[in-house]
Amino acid sequence: MLDILMSEKLWTVLLISITFSIFLMALVQKIKKLEFINKKWHVWVINFVCAFLMGIPFGIHFYDLELYEAIWMSLFGFIGAPSIYEALKNQNMISYKPKSATTPSKTDTVCIPKSNEIKRGDLS
């Protein structure tokens, strides 16, 4: 039944685009850390440009795709990379913590008075 709905060529392009989406997602996440990328549409444009500038040569060079197949692979990669990122983020597989949350500072220290100390002998 799957053969009727999806041709072998489409199936191949989709599988390659999944692989490319992983690389594209990682690249866009690295580029997002640049300080001049501060709006959502900036990320969208970077994702779109990287998908086609890197996707077409990726498909042609590594998978011997024709130009039109590489364009479709890039489009599917552009659509798929944000979806993969959001799915991983929603499943807590990607956890982003700002540097300020990961490195303790002196203001994060809690002092407990000696009178509140619990000694092992006091437990019984």
**pLDDT score of 64:** 94
Domain membership of residue 48 (yes or no) is yes
The confidence score (pLDDT) of residue 34 equals: 87
Q: For residue 120, tell me if it sits in a domain.
A: no
pLDDT for 112 equals 75
- Number of structural domains (the chain) is 1
Specify if 89 maps to a domain. yes
Q: What is the mean pLDDT of each run of 10 residues along the chain (124 residues)?
A: 70 87 89 86 91 95 95 91 69 55 59 76 58
**Does a structural domain hold residue 90?**
yes
User: At 64, phi and psi to the nearest 5?
Assistant: 55, 40
CB neighbours of residue 18 within 10 Å: 14
The pLDDT of residue 100 is 47
What pLDDT shows up at residue 12?
Answer: 86
Residue 118 is assigned to a structural domain of this protein: no
Domain-embedded: residue 110? no
Answer whether residue 15 is part of any domain.
yes
